[in-house]
Structure 1
Amino acid sequence: MSERAPTDTNGVHGRDPHPLRGRTVLVTGAGRRGGIGHAIASLAASYGASTVLHHFQPHDEAQEWGADDLDAVVESVRRHALDDAVVAEISADLADPHGPARLMVAAAELVGHVDVLVCNHALTGEDGPLGGVTAEQLDAHWAVDARSSILLAQAFVQQHDGRPGGSIVFMTSGQELGPLPGEIAYAAAKAAMAGITTTIADELADLGIRVNTVNPGPVDTGYLTDDMWRLVAPMFPFGRYGRPDDPARLIVWLATDEAAWITGQTINTEGGFGRWRPRGPS
């Protein structure tokens, strides 16, 4: 008979309850309390990390949900943080070719070193079907949804000093699993991030930096209406839409040492969306 495991006084089976203590996580697109970025930053803070929240309020102000109160956003994340951890916010326009480098320099100046980069930001709107999409729309989505993430990864590597724990997480949108009607520019740019993951992961492996990409699936960040839910409910095996915490748990776990053997992967976390037989509306 095997020996019984000792009584666990430090998390589950000896797991550190603060596996990101002493590390800093930069999360882009984290300016709204209802968004995935805020959920990622809050969970990273609860894991012991210092967190830098990137935002660009002019983008949010142009959306129907509007911009959030940044002081409230920061305070919300701070409530999850350890006493000695830093929680800060930085504004940057990632459509600007120089925006990613400026953001990384500013973040490193705030916290000394960025250990984990999560590219959660995306351009909302300014899209169309094949018959209507314009060159300007294609360029706009490429600039924000793909180019800026690649340049952020470049800037991350330039400030990384080789210490353990380096990790980058890109975001994609599952466009290879099913169509995104009317979103040609967005789908193309997000597909680029999934497509480049293995190449960047290979380049950075010698530096000890892991690179993975996550498809968060359909997540209600404030845009889901009753009519929309009735239309798509049969496609959700668990009878509910995604919540910001759902992808956040995977993304933050990928930043911990528990995921030290995972790199170059594109991972879907979408509750089986659209995979199984249709269900009746909830």
Structure 2
Amino acid sequence: MHHHRTRMSSACVTFAGLIFNACAAVHIFALSRSLKYEPELGWSSGNDTFKVDSIKVAWILFLSYFVSAAAVDLVGFVGVVKTKPALIRFYRDYSIADFVFSAVATAASAYSTFQVSTRTGVCEEMSRQPELLRNMTDLGLSLENCERWFERAVMAFAACMVLVLVVRLHFLLAVSRYYTHLTRRSALPTHVRTPTRQDSLQRIFIIPRHSQTASTPASPTVYAPVPLEDLTPELRRSAMEAWVKRTDLRDTRHHRSSSGRISLPIQPDEGLLPAYTDKA
């Protein structure tokens, strides 16, 4: 049951990440079409420097980030559905790296709000994008309050990112637990397959194998239940897997009817009382 819960939670995490990152990529791509392309981009003849539109570069980086994140979420979702440990490991490693990157980026963005030069540079770049500035008017952004708006927006973004990082940490732990379960199951001596009727079958491991007791068929072998955790790694590798039917305690009880009648095995034409013969 715990295995199914971890698998279901991992599938939900990867699928939710896929939907979120895909929608964010589409939204950023739609907003990027409102950016103004400056025709004077290129090498300057005066100071021999290359002018780069920072807003446009940041938009491209954001778009690339969300597209790659959606692709990795798709890989993780396929790995969880098809039970592929290699794909789940790739998703887990990428999620760990992305978690560290997001934490560092959040701390850096919060620190940048205290730098006057950073706020001034961002507002200058925003002034060169009239269409983007017009689209963000509904959010309260204007050239007059650009620096103050940028400072508040970054602080609010940092606070939201802290909550998101906490939630992502729980999701990452769930995926890591599921991957650990798969690796432990693959380390068993035989490939474990889930039976079609899990309610009636139970997986056990037999020690020693039948081949080890075939030389003395006359002497019976008695098996005793031993927890799998108490076995050494050598015994685990030498164990043989088997599926047995679960025993239901209700089936071993005597069947009683509510009427109080007792059923006895009676042969045909047999009386209820034994026959007596007179002896002389």
- The reply to whether TM is greater than 0.5 is no
Greater strand fraction, Structure 1 or Structure 2: 1
TM-score, normalised to structure 2, is 0.21
TM-score, normalised to structure 1, is 0.21
